Amino acid sequence: MNLTARTLLLALPLALAACIEQEDAPLLFQARSASVSSGASTPILVRERQLAFLADELTTGAGGTDMNGDGDKLDRIAMVADMVNGSEVRLDVAARELALAGNSLYMVVDEVEDNTDWNTDTDALDLVLLRVATGSPSAGSVAFVAELRRTAQGPALVATDNEKVFYCAAPGSTPLAAGETGISVITLTGGAPNVPVRVLHDDPLTTLVPELIGSDGNVLFLGLDESDEGRDLNGDGDSADDHVLALANAALGTPRIKSTGKAMAGHDSPLRAAASTGTEIVVAFLVDEAAQGGASLNNYAGAFANWRPAHCTANDTDTLDEVLHYVWLSSFLAGTTQPVNTALAGEERVLVASNGTAAFVASIVPESDDGNCATAGLNNDGDTDDDVLRWVKVENPLGTSGVFTAAIGLVALEDVPGGTHGATDFNGRWIVVIDEAADGRSWDGEPSNPTNNVEHLVAWLNPADGNSAQWISDHSPSPGFQCGGSSWMGELEDRVRVPIGFEESVFGAPINGRDTDMLDSVPVFSRFDPSNANDFDFPGPAVAVDADNVGTVISNNIAYYRVDEAADNFDWNKDGDKLDRVLFRTTVSTLGDSYYLSPSTDVPGPVVVADSANVAAAFLAEESAARVDLNGDGDQNDFVVRWMRVGP
């Protein structure tokens, strides 16, 4: 940006306000280590003061440790810890998946790996669900709950926000009755932790055997395989589709499963559920044209004619795309509405934004999937290799309000790390990272030329502004431009902030104060100013983070993030080098109390796991980088789960 460093400092006072402490963290935040090692991919689950994770037999102890007594050292063993009193219990069960709900830990165990006949059927060949009470766990108190179905893909169990655990039940000795499904549920609130109930679906004359995909809040996503069901579920004349989406509202006392009748490309297809207006929830998903009957769903002819940008001259007629659809969950489950096709192609991300009175759905559109702009591209820059965010208003019939019937906001995105692919929904707006070079335009007030159009700028847009909506990259009313560049953008489940890796190069001056370069990123916890809804702030501490793996997590006003010692030019963990990734914390509301907490790891993903109870947080650390034997097994070669109290 063509502004002086002094001007930028005045424009961004909050970005430099935090004081970084060199001394050790307060006693409350001092970490302790598990006595075992874990693999880099161990699940880490936190619920209030309880922690669950998997220990790695092969790397625990000299030469490994056979914890479950099955004669090998190849298993991952379920562990439970109380993060307040420090107790740690090894359950000696070889587990694949874990779920914490209520006062219970549920474990998916393969009897073959555990060499134990848990369901007492005289063999050790089954997949089973086990439970232990987290209040008084012990290896001897692990109890069998149910036999599970071995599914080809997806998880075997999913825990939702309202204390329900869903799982794929094994076919029992009694066949499913009409109206029943192969999914069972355990209700923890007011229910019994060991008593599952068969989940029903909306057709009392047939059965369903879904596979679990996951959940968003209390919306449960499931996949149906037509070959398993023996019938055509999406109305395309065949029974060959294996990813037909089904939904359930887990918030209901007796949730029922209902098929959308729409086939996705796979179980990893993006999904999103968000509150719209009142008690209604909007669910957004992508439908695969090839699987859904081989017809073009994003052809802008007929009712979708105004979806085509003015500079485009043709319609997309191929059947190779994934296309954005949405449903209103309650009315869909009640049978009064059906999925709505937006005619917008999509990939990687679907989003839902709501301002309390209206909702909008969006997808990231690869220009190559939108054949109506085969020459100019959606953003009219003369190529077709960009990713562009497009959206429509959620209404039925689509386009009733008369807005979003033209091409607006067509800008090339930068696919920054962090899981958002450069786009997220926040406070009813879209937040994106614009790739100026790919877009061919300047968005930061500099003259538009190849030398200046090189930055990855954070911008926002309010879709409620309709066809007058514009991307805003100037985030300060005065003085001049206050632009934010992003090397990483994450997403928080509760959407309280937008965590970003804020680039010094876009800011125009060093920020972290321990070097003089402008090559670093610092953590910012972005929000819209409470006193100015059009001011998107970048508050954050002056410390250099792991630019492409910040991993920011915010829980109860405390932000945790991953600092890169080399970028920050400081040996924070005092091990004699500046080569490590370390865990930091900052009080978000004041940007004070910023402390080094512990060695961490550069394993991609969130830097800690915490929950809303604000009791404790857990994370993974790597001994070899920190040159410390954290778990006391005589070597410095392990990944170790650590935890700390963060509240009373």
* Cβ neighbours for 435, distance < 8 A, ≥ 6 positions apart: 386, 412, 413, 414, 422, 456
Q: Which residue has the tokens 């709950």?
A: 145
How far separated are the first and last CA of the chain, in Å rounded?
46
Going from N- to C-terminal start, the domains of the chain cover: 157-260, 270-405
Q: What pLDDT was estimated at residue 613?
A: 85
Q: Strand, helix or coil at 44?
A: strand
Percent of the chain exceeding pLDDT 70 equals 92
pLDDT at 19 exceeding the cut of 60: no
DSSP string covering 382-430, please?
S-S--EEEEEEE--SSTTTTS-S-S-----BBP--TTTTTTEEEETTEE
Helix H or strand E encompassing 111: helix 111-114
Tell me, letter by letter, the H, E, C secondary structure of 488-500: EECCCCCCCCEEE
Question: For the chain, what is the mean pLDDT?
Answer: 89
pLDDT at 4 exceeding the cut of 50: no
Instruction: Report the C-alpha gap between 5 and 131 in whole angstroms.
Output: 58
pLDDT tens digits, residue range 633-643? 999 999 999 99
Q: Strand, helix or coil at 45?
A: strand
pLDDT tens digits, residue range 573-624? 999 999 999 999 999 999 988 999 999 999 999 999 999 888 999 999 999 9
What does residue 438 show for φ and ψ, rounded to 5 degrees? -70, -30
Q: What pLDDT was estimated at residue 8?
A: 30
pLDDT band of residue 216 (cuts 50, 70, 90) is very high
pLDDT tens digits, residue range 107-124? 999 999 999 999 999 999
pLDDT tens digits, residue range 256-282? 999 999 999 999 999 999 988 777 899
pLDDT band of residue 450 (cuts 50, 70, 90) is low
Q: What pLDDT was estimated at residue 453?
A: 65
- Nearest residue to 32 (alpha-carbon basis) of 632, 604, 638: 632
Q: What pLDDT was estimated at residue 448?
A: 64
Q: What pLDDT was estimated at residue 5?
A: 27
Token pair of 184, please? 């069972």
Across 163-169, average pLDDT? 94
Contact 75, 113 (CB under 8 A): yes
Contact 211, 229 (CB under 8 A): no
- Identify the bridge partners of residue 100 per DSSP, sorted by sequence position: 105
Residue 9: other Cβ atoms inside 10 A: 15
pLDDT at 433 exceeding the cut of 90: yes
Fill in the amino acid letter for 373. C
- Lowest average pLDDT, out of 2-11, 58-67, 133-142, 587-596, goes to 2-11
Fill in the amino acid letter for 583. L
Q: What pLDDT was estimated at residue 16?
A: 42
pLDDT tens digits, residue range 323-338? 999 999 999 999 999 9
Cis peptide before 510 (omega within 30 of 0): no
- Nearest residue to 559 (alpha-carbon basis) of 606, 514, 520: 606
* Cβ neighbours for 145, distance < 8 A, ≥ 6 positions apart: 106, 128, 129, 130, 131, 186, 194, 196
pLDDT at 477 exceeding the cut of 60: no
Helix H or strand E encompassing 320: none
The upper half-sphere exposure of residue 384, i.e. CA atoms within 13 Å in the direction of its Cβ, equals: 11
- Lowest average pLDDT, out of 22-31, 94-103, 125-134, 618-627, goes to 22-31
Residue 171: other Cβ atoms inside 10 A: 11
Instruction: Report the C-alpha gap between 285 and 419 in whole angstroms.
Output: 17
Q: Strand, helix or coil at 465?
A: helix
Fill in the amino acid letter for 336. T
pLDDT tens digits, residue range 61-92? 988 999 999 999 999 999 999 999 999 999 99
Pairing of strands 553-555, 536-537: unpaired
Contact 232, 293 (CB under 8 A): no
pTM, two decimal places: 0.93
- Identify the bridge partners of residue 558 per DSSP, sorted by sequence position: 555, 587
